[in-house]
Amino acid sequence: MVISTDNDQNSTCSPSSLRKISLFLYVIMLSFLSLQPSTTITRSSLFSYPRRRHRHSISPPPPPHFPLTTKTPFRHHFQIRSLDAAQTNHFETQIFDRFAKSTKLKIAIVGFGNFGQFLAKTLVRQGHTVLAHSRSNHSKIAQNLGVSFFPDPHDLCEEHPEILLLCTSIFSTENVLRSLPLQRLKRSTLFVDVLSVKEFPKNLFLQILPCDFDILCTHPMFGPESGKYSWNDLPFVYDQVRIGNEDSRAIRIERFLEIFKKEGCRMVEMSCAEQDKYAAGSQFITHTMGRVLEKLGLETTPINTKGYETLLNLVENTSGDSFDLYYGLFMYNKNAMEQLERLDMAFESLKKELFGHLHDVLRKQLFGKAGGIEVSGDRPVLAKLPVLEDRPVLSKLPKNGAALPAPADTVRIQNN
């Protein structure tokens, strides 16, 4: 061992001197530790000094050294409660979060009225991000539903939603669509409508929207009243009008349709022309009969039958919708006028049938089996009432969709 002095003279220490110095230091340390009787230290731990790291070193620091003891038992300060507990930085948790986010959609609802709020409840419950815009301020309702409300359509479009869902009325659809800042949207945005007529929004989308936007025309055959408790087995009709070639766009369509599949809807893919044809014979007639019965002022009675309860429910369901919806079904569906004419002819035919049977009963009561004209005093009596010539009446209505006959070809009911 070489020891350097201030005079730069070298001197050598013998091994025996080193052992004496080490023993002297050991005795001093033991004397110091004797002041703390509860501390137990071994020889190995006494000379285990941590090495100082160089300030330019990039190696990790050595693990802390805990002295071992043979007298005081080691106490556990931590307990393992679950080996499968997910941590924030756990790999499987991160994969699950990414998968969950990839299956959720960012949907903007334009027209946050009754029907828009009705759909938003289900969208939020399924975990989708929902934005909303409307001419009226529905910010408080949106906040309660977990929806982000944007009074300005420019701010809404700058959020770059994947799907823009139009829930406006039939009459305001064109004005709302033309007022949207389409240039602020992504070119792959999917436009979806939920109107009760289908040819009208389809042609409107194809006319106004650029070719890069996708188009999906849908018709949920239910509303806030009929779908209040469940959507199970309720029909959802859709038509994929224009979808891009990218796989991501097809996957997005499937994710949107999956929203209604999860709720148990009966999915029906049908062209817009076919939807209007069937809707005129079902939805328009239903609304017409409901509003006619509403004009009659039907009220519940103590002896309601099941059929009468059905009529009361029909009035309740149809009266909850606005007249604009009913008028839109008539105005923008070319098949609606034909259904009105068929309904009018069917009612007249039923009246003629009732009056014809009533005439037969009265004639038999008054004249017995005698036919023709009988004279009673100075007044002739007809045994057979003349047929009214003011309105054409069919003995049998043609099938739905068939051309109605001209008045000259109308077959009239002949009374016996």
- 175-224: per-residue pLDDT in tens? 999 999 999 999 999 999 999 999 999 999 999 999 999 999 999 999 99
- Indicate whether 69 belongs to any domain: no
Residues 118 and 212 in one domain: yes
Residues 145-164 have pLDDT tens digits of: 999 999 999 999 999 999 99
Cβ proximity of 377 and 318 under 8 Å = no
Is 122 domain-assigned? Answer: yes
| pLDDT computed for residue 93 by the predictor | 60
Integer CA distances (angstroms), 314 to 291, 302, 321, 336, in order: 9, 19, 12, 19
What local confidence, expressed as pLDDT, does residue 10 receive?
47
Q: Which is nearest to 125 in space by CA: 149, 145, 103, 100? A: 145
Q: 246 with 105, same domain?
A: yes
* Residues 264 and 176 placed together within one structural domain of the fold: yes
Angle at 333 between CA 332 and CA 337, to 5 degrees: 110
Domain boundary among 209, 241, 270: 270
Q: In terms of domains, do 351 and 257 share one?
A: no
**Structure confidence by residue, pLDDT tens digits, 228-252:** 999 999 999 999 999 999 999 999 9
DSSP classification of residue 132:
E
What domain range includes position 398?
A: 339-416
Question: Does residue 257 sit in the same domain as residue 343?
Answer: no
Distance CA 152, CA 108 (A): 13
Q: Residue 318: is its pLDDT beyond 90?
A: no
More confident residue, 80 or 28: 28
In-domain check, residue 322? no
Instruction: Report the range of poorest mean pLDDT among 48-62, 92-106, 320-334.
Output: 48-62
Domain boundary among 270, 293, 322: 270
Give the span between the Cα atoms of 276 and 347, in whole angstroms: 24
Cβ partners under 8 Å of residue 238, min gap 6: 216, 217, 218, 219, 257, 267, 268, 269, 270
Half-sphere exposure of 386 (CA within 13 A, CB side): 4
Q: Is residue 377 part of a domain?
A: yes
Residue 396 located in a structural domain: yes
Report the percent of the chain where pLDDT is more than 90. Answer: 54
**Position 152 in a domain:** yes
Is 390 part of a structural domain of the chain? yes
User: Model confidence over 54-92: pLDDT tens digits?
Assistant: 555 555 566 555 555 555 555 555 555 555 555 555 656
Domain count, the chain: 2
b/e 336-350 (16+ beta carbons within 10 angstroms → b): bebbeebbebeebbe
pTM: 0.61
Residue 132 has pLDDT above 70, yes or no: yes
pLDDT at 255 over 70: yes
Nearest to 279 by CA among 200, 344, 197: 197
The last residue of a domain, from among 254, 270, 286: 270
Residues 346, 210 share a domain: no
91 lies in a domain?
no
**CATH code, 160:** 3.40.50.720
Q: Does 357 lie in the same domain as 256?
A: no
Residue 379 has pLDDT above 90, yes or no: no
Separation between Cα atoms, residue 11 and residue 383, nearest integer Å:
157
